[in-house]
C-alpha cells in the first residue's frame, strides 16, 4: 500500500468526519427535539446536548444498515475509489453547510444519495434499480404517511370523548412494542432485538414468545405513561414528549451516520485494518460534536418558523417520525429527517388549525430545496469525476 493511497484514505476519512459534523449540526441534530423545543418542553441548548449523546448511541448500535446501503447498494458494477469518496462527501457536506447557513433544512439523504449516484455513473457503474425503487417509495410516501398519521393523532388528542389518560397511553404502548423489536448490533448474537433475545430465555415457541414479550413491553410502557398522565397531566405529557424526542434523536443517529461513513465502506476491503465499527464510532463522534456546537440554529428554525407547536401537536409529530425513521433503518434506506419531521409538523398543523401558523412560503422553498438538492448533487458528482477523473 503506497503513501498516496494512505493519504487519499486519510483525506476521505477527514471529509467523512466533516460530513458527520454537518449532519449533527443540521438534520440529525436539529429535527428530533425541534417539536419539543417548539412546545417549550425543553430548552434549545439542552435539546442540542441530549440529541448529540443519543445520536452517537444510535450511530454505533444501529448505523450499519444504512451505511452499507449508501456505500455499496446505490451503484452496481463499480466500487468507489478514495478520490471519488472525497468528492461525494465534500458535495454532500457543502450543500448541507449552505442549508445551515441560510436556515433552510436541505435534505442530507438527497444530497449524499444524488452525489453517490452521480459519481458512480461517471465511473461507469450501472443503476441499482431495485434499491432506487425502494428509496423512491420511502421518499415519496413519507410526507403522506407521516403527515397522515400526525393528522390523525393531532385530531384525536384534544377530543373530550377520548381522554388523554387513554389516548396517550395507547400511543405509548405502540411505541413500546416497536422499541421491543428494534434491531441492535450488540444483540446480534441472540436474535438482534429485545423481544427475540427475551424469547430465547423462555421454553415457548419462538414466534409466540417474541409476540408475547413485545406486547408485554408495550403494555408496561402504556401502564407507566397512564399513571404519569393521570397524576400530572401537563407533566406527564411533557415527559412522554421528551421520551419521544429521545427515541427520534437515537433513530436520527442510526440513519444519518450512514450518510457520513457509508461512502467509506467500499474502501474497507483495501484497508482491512479499519473495521466498520470504527467508522461508525468516528461518525457518531462527528454527529455528537456537530449537535453540541451548531445544532441550536436549525432547531430554532424548525421549531419556531414552521409552526407554533404545543405538547399534543408535538407528540403527534414525533410518533410518526419515530416509526418512519426506524422503518428506514430496517430497510437500509437513506432518509431525510427534515422531510420526516417537517411533513409530520404540517400534518398535525392542518388537524389543529387547518394549516394556520404554517408558513406556505417557507414550506414551499423547503420542498424545492429538497428536490433541487438531489439533482444538484447528482450533477456536481457526475461533472466532478468527468473533470478531475479518479
Q: What is the pLDDT of residues 243-264, one digit of tens each?
A: 998 999 999 999 889 999 999 8
- Tell me the average pLDDT of the chain: 85
How do residues 72-112 score in pLDDT, each as one tens digit?
Answer: 899 999 888 888 888 898 888 788 777 767 766 677 889 99
Q: What pLDDT was estimated at residue 133? A: 95
pLDDT at 353: 64
Whether the per-residue pLDDT at 13 is higher than 80: the answer is yes
Structure-model confidence comparison of residues 34 and 267, the more confident one:
267
Look at residue 192 in the predicted model and tell me its pLDDT: 82
Contact assessment for residue 185 and residue 61, using Cβ atoms and an 8 Å cutoff: yes
- Judged against a pLDDT cut of 60, whether residue 307 lies above it is answered with no
Mean per-residue pLDDT, 157-181: 89
DSSP3 helix / strand / coil % (the chain, rounded to 5): 80, 0, 20
Average pLDDT over residues 277-304: 83
Question: Cell 424526542, residue?
Answer: 245
pLDDT, tens only, 141-166: 999 999 999 999 999 887 777 888 88
The cell for 223 is 401502564
SS3 labels along 7-66 = HHHHHHHHHHHHHHHHHHHCHHHHCCCHHHHHCCCCCHHHHHHHHHHHHHHHHHHHCHHH
Give the CA angle between residues 309, 36, 148 to the nearest 5°.
60
Q: Which three cell numbers stand for residue 29?
A: 441534530
Q: Supply the pLDDT for residue 308.
A: 60
The predicted-structure confidence for 323-349, as pLDDT tens digits, reads as follows 999 999 999 999 988 788 888 888 888
Q: What is the pLDDT of residue 89?
A: 86
Q: Is the pLDDT of residue 121 over 70?
A: yes
More confident residue, 298 or 83: 83
Segment among 73-87, 175-189, 307-321 with least mean pLDDT: 307-321
pLDDT > 90? residue 358: no
Section 172-201 average pLDDT: 87
Collapsing DSSP states into helix, strand and coil, what is residue 183? strand
Amino acid at each position: 500500500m503506497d503513501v498516496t493511497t494512505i493519504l487519499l484514505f486519510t483525506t476521505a476519512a477527514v471529509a467523512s468526519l466533516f460530513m458527520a459534523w454537518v449532519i449533527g449540526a443540521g438534520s440529525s441534530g436539529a429535527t428530533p427535539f425541534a417539536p419539543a423545543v417548539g412546545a417549550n418542553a425543553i430548552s434549545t441548548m439542552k435539546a442540542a446536548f441530549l440529541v448529540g449523546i443519543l445520536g452517537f448511541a444510535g450511530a454505533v448500535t444501529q448505523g450499519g444498515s444504512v451505511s452499507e446501503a449508501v456505500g455499496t447498494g446505490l451503484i452496481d458494477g463499480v466500487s468507489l475509489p478514495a478520490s471519488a469518496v472525497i468528492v461525494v462527501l465534500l458535495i454532500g457536506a457543502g450543500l448541507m453547510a449552505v442549508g445551515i447557513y441560510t436556515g433552510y433544512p436541505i435534505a442530507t439523504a438527497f444530497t449524499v444519495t444524488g452525489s453517490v449516484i452521480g459519481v458512480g455513473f461517471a465511473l461507469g457503474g450501472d443503476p441499482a434499480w431495485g434499491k432506487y425503487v425502494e428509496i423512491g417509495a420511502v421518499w415519496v410516501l413519507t410526507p403522506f404517511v407521516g403527515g397522515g398519521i400526525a393528522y390523525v393523532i393531532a385530531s384525536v388528542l384534544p377530543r373530550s370523548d377520548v381522554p388523554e389518560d387513554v389516548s396517550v397511553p395507547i400511543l405509548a404502548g405502540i411505541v413500546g412494542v416497536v422499541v421491543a423489536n428494534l434491531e441492535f448490533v450488540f444483540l446480534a448474537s441472540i436474535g438482534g432485538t429485545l423481544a427475540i433475545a427475551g424469547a430465547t430465555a423462555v421454553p415457548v415457541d419462538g414466534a409466540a414468545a417474541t409476540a408475547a414479550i413485545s406486547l408485554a413491553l408495550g403494555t408496561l410502557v402504556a401502564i407507566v405513561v397512564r399513571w404519569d398522565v393521570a397524576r400530572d397531566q401537563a407533566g406527564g405529557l411533557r415527559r412522554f414528549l421528551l421520551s419521544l424526542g429521545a427515541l427520534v434523536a437515537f433513530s436520527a443517529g442510526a440513519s444519518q451516520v450512514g450518510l457520513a461513513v457509508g461512502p467509506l465502506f467500499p474502501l474497507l476491503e483495501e484497508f482491512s485494518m479499519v473495521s466498520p465499527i470504527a467508522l461508525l464510532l468516528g461518525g457518531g463522534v462527528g454527529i455528537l460534536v456537530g449537535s453540541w456546537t451548531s445544532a441550536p440554529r436549525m432547531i430554532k428554525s424548525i421549531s419556531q418558523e414552521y409552526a407554533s407547536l404545543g405538547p399534543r401537536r408535538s407528540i403527534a409529530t414525533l410518533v410518526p417520525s419515530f416509526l418512519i425513521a426506524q422503518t428506514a433503518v430496517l430497510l437500509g434506506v437513506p432518509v431525510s429527517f427534515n422531510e420526516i419531521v417537517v411533513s409530520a409538523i404540517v400534518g398535525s398543523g392542518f388537524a389543529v388549525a387547518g394549516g394556520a401558523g404554517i408558513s406556505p412560503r417557507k414550506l414551499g422553498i423547503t420542498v424545492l430545496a429538497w428536490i433541487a438538492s438531489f439533482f444538484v448533487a447528482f450533477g456536481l458528482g457526475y461533472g466532478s469525476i468527468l473533470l478531475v477523473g479518479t
